[in-house]
């Protein structure tokens, strides 16, 4: 199966969630259908119109939102009052604002982290989970991002490291954090471009043909700054929190669609999650990396959401 046809939102707006933050939201699809909420990655990546197309608009009421500091939410690229707990409660505020009783959570990469954190905090408000590129924010997963991807993408990793002075390469996360939060745009935008280029270069089974994938996209600063902010703070989660609290949602259906060659979020985390969740279905896509838009993963996600039609409560 491929993506559904393009659709436009039927409603959208900005929700004040406190601390000076305003979160962009939109609703599309069937106004009276079961609700699915798209939990985007990063943290800091934001949403895009294409993401509506994972869902059958004749069946689902589709909710997209941009997390604090990214996409169309304001203030842009802000890490003030920006933690996992804040994002969980922003989702809950949005659920209440939209009059949603329960919703299916669809999240990939950091979106899988946040979907699990939300579900374990508000299990009664969830009908199930469709997850991709599982990331549990364990120290070894952050270490893999900073150092381990070198084993498969040495040229991308060298560009990532060579941006820094030699004396700062032992702790690249601290070095990038310093630059990404520098008030000078010439400093923080350059660091954001290289950070995002590194992740983008490693995100697909078949890397982009260009030797330098770094771009000056408008979302680079939010993506890099917020992502580094969360990495420095271990995702604002206690050690093994998501696996330890899994009993709160283990009764709910879950389908994981995971690229076999995901180098950003290696499959071991999806496997650990699935083995701890009886009834969870783990589907490894043989010819895919990390990106949700690779053909096998894209089709697998659409099929998983279609299967959920029969598995969620009516």
pLDDT tens figures, 168-204: 999 999 999 999 999 999 999 999 999 999 999 999 9
Which residue among the candidates 109, 112, 269, 291 is catalytic per the annotation?
Answer: 109
The reported pLDDT for the residue numbered 270 is 98
φ, ψ dihedrals at 228, nearest 5°: -65, -40
* Annotation marks residue 171 as catalytic: no
Averaged pLDDT for residues 144-157: 97
Q: With contact defined as beta carbons under 8 Å apart, do 49 and 41 qualify?
A: no
In the chain, which segments carry CATH 3.40.50.1820?
Answer: 11-137+238-308
Which residue among the candidates 40, 90, 229, 262 is catalytic per the annotation?
Answer: 262
pTM value is: 0.97
- Can you name the residues that pair with 15 across neighbouring β-strands? 23
Sheet strand arrangement including 21-29: 11-18, 21-29, 61-65, 35-39, 103-108, 126-132, 254-259, 281-285
* Annotation marks residue 19 as catalytic: no
* Annotation marks residue 28 as catalytic: no
φ, ψ dihedrals at 217, nearest 5°: -60, 150
d(CA 154, CA 43): 24
Averaged pLDDT for residues 258-275: 98
Q: With contact defined as beta carbons under 8 Å apart, do 280 and 251 qualify?
A: no
The chain-wide mean pLDDT, for the chain, equals 96
Confidence of residue 313 (pLDDT cuts 50, 70, 90): confident
Which residue among the candidates 28, 73, 290, 291 is catalytic per the annotation?
Answer: 290
Superfamily of domain 11-137+238-308: Alpha/Beta hydrolase fold, catalytic domain (3.40.50.1820)
Strand segments, DSSP code E, in the chain are 11-18, 21-29, 35-39, 61-65, 103-108, 126-132, 254-259, 281-285
- pLDDT above 60: residue 213: no
- pLDDT above 80: residue 212: no
d(CA 102, CA 288): 31
């Amino acid at each position: 199966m491929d993506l559904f046809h393009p659709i436009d939102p039927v409603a959208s707006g900005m929700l004040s969630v406190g601390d000076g933050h305003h979160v962009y939201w939109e609703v599309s699809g069937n106004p009276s259908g079961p609700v699915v909420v798209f939990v985007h990655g990063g943290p800091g990546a934001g949403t895009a119109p294409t993401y509506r197309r994972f869902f059958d608009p004749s069946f689902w009421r589709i909710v997209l939102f941009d997390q604090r500091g990214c996409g169309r939410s304001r203030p842009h690229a802000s890490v003030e009052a920006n933690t996992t707990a804040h994002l969980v409660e922003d989702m809950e505020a949005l659920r209440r604002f939209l009059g949603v009783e329960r919703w299916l959570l669809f999240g990939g990469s950091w979106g899988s982290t946040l979907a699990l954190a939300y579900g374990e905090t508000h299990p009664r408000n969830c009908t199930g989970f469709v997850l991709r590129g599982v990331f549990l924010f364990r120290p070894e997963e952050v270490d893999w991002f900073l150092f381990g991807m070198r084993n498969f993408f040495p040229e991308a990793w060298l560009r990532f490291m060579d941006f820094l002075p030699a004396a700062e390469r032992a702790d690249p996360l601290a070095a990038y954090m310093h630059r990404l939060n520098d008030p000078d745009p010439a400093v923080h935008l350059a660091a954001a471009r290289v950070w995002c280029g590194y992740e983008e270069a490693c995100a697909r089974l078949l890397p982009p043909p260009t030797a330098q994938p770094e771009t000056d996209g408008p979302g680079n600063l939010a993506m890099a700054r917020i992502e580094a902010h969360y990495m420095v703070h271990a995702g604002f989660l206690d050690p093994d929190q998501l696996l330890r609290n899994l009993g709160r949602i283990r009764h709910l259906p879950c389908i994981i669609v995971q690229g076999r060659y995901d180098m950003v979020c290696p499959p071991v985390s999806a496997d650990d999650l699935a083995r701890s969740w009886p009834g969870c279905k783990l589907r490894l896509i043989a010819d895919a990396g990390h990106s949700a838009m690779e053909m096998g993963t894209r089709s697998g996600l659409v099929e998983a959401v279609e299967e959920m039609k029969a598995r969620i409560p009516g």
